[in-house]
Amino acid sequence: MLFNSLTFILGFLPVVLAGFYFLTSNGRPRFAAIWLTLASLVFYGWWNPLYVPLLVGSVTLNFLLGGYLIRHPSRLALTLGVAANLGLLGYYKYTGFLLGSLDQAFALNWQVEDILLPLAISFFTFQQIAYLVDARDGEVQEHDFVHYCLFITFFPQLIAGPITHHGEMLAQFRERTTFRPRLGALSIGATIFVLGLFKKVVIADPLGETASPVFAVAAAGSIPSLYDAWIAALTYTLQIYFDFSGYSDMAIGLGLLFGVRLPTNFDSPFKARNVIEYWSRWHMTLTRFLTAYIYNPVMLRVTRARLAAGKPQPRRGKMTPGAFFALVAYPTVLTMFISGVWHGAGWQFVVFGLLHGFYLVVAHGWRAYKARRGWKLDSEHPLHRTLAVLLTFGCVVVAMVFFRAADVPAALAILSGMLGLSPDPADLTRADGSSFLMIALLLAFVWTLPNLQQWMKAYDTALHARPRPHWLQRLPALHWRPTPALGAVVGVLGFFALALAFSVAPTEFLYFQF
């Protein structure tokens, strides 16, 4: 079931909301939590009911193991639990890729059957691993089966994030005031949902129709023309931007309808001045998980090993090349390699992760060099800032080509076309000349206008929402308020979004495939 489908908007959501508010208005928050859990399982099973037992079994076993780790902290039990979760993810997501790679490398002539990937397995696997690690470390504050089930299965975030943390979600479920009807939360949640839907169906989906033919040409073995290659790379980059931004908004809006605040997961990443800042704005909850549960432990282990070997901790700006490699480059590249593999089973995703690892190492190295020279780390000069944003965006576009392409050769074909290396100067797809104008307008929108959190700064839109400074803050009259005028504007946008969504077959969100 898709957020942008008629079944969800006019069927599933009204029924679930009605049942939820009936239970909460009668002072039964625990029954409301059970109702939401059951509804979330129906939502998940709508795609394929056969995988509901897999989800329920995973949730139950992780809950039981988490309880054991709370009472008996054990490295062995934690290792087995993490291995079991990764083994389940690995079987469904990577078996076909690994066997296919071996078959291709050694000409084994294996018949590799496709294994259907269960929806959301990448997301709920990371959530449950974090729970087990924190249970073993004594950081789990609540161990309640109903609340744990809702934490994992809550349908707004189940399929494509945000990757929620048990501490922030279970604390909300524990408060009786969470499951309580609020007119303000309904107004804010509905507004965010409608605007997210608009991004998805009005902006993102048409961009995909422009990009897909060119990537198909590359997948077939041809190098597209210079014009087509750039159109494809830029439109896909904007497509995934608005698609993922739209999903994140819709998830946050749906959560607010039920009184639950989900964490911010998207914060205008194309405004970033370097790739370090980019990953603090793009898929923010994934970055948080990777930092807390992979990067920091690896760096801590390296630091302890260096101290044991008699190598002192280097001071800021005084890091030797060896220390930089051990403390920055190695954990960064390893973390981004895991991020790339997490996103998909294919060598193109490995390249995507390693490429971003390289970007981050260069960015950290440049900042270390500036710190050593006593320079300002981030210049506020308009020209410097603009050049930094454009350079970062260009790096992101190159990496997105690998993210979208069917395989590495197809990605290299697109990049070759972007360098003007196509043997046929004629356009293969006959892309419309207005495409660049559309791209320019969308980039102007992305780079100059505030995001939803900034526009709705006066209201509690998301968990840990800390809107960055923006020119709009000098014009408070333009901020969102629950007024009839703004309601009419959002209503018009919502009408067009719903009309378009209901007139065509709903398309999946891009992050559904991960």
Cα–Cα distance for residue pair 309/303, rounded to 1 Å: 10
**DSSP conformation class of 263:** B
Q: How far apart are CA 403 and CA 343, in angstroms?
A: 9
Report how far apart, in Å, the C-alpha atoms of 138 and of each of 23, 70, 134, 176, 300 are: 34, 6, 6, 25, 19
Residue (of 6, 32, 31, 9) closest to 20 by Cα position: 32
> How far is residue 351's CA from residue 422's CA, in Å, rounded to a whole number?
23
* Separation of alpha carbons 161 and 509, rounded Å: 11
CA dist., res. 158 & res. 190, Å (int): 19
- DSSP per residue, 483-500: -HHHHHHHHHHHHHHHHH
Distance CA(308)–CA(191), nearest Å, equals: 55
Catalytic residues: 343
The amino acid at 508: E
- If 0-12 CB within 10 Å is exposed, 13-18 middle and 19+ buried, where does residue 119 land? buried
Token pair 């054991």 is found at: 68
Q: Which residues have a Cβ under 8 Å from the Cβ of 422 and sit 6 or more positions away? A: 223, 224, 225, 226, 229, 416
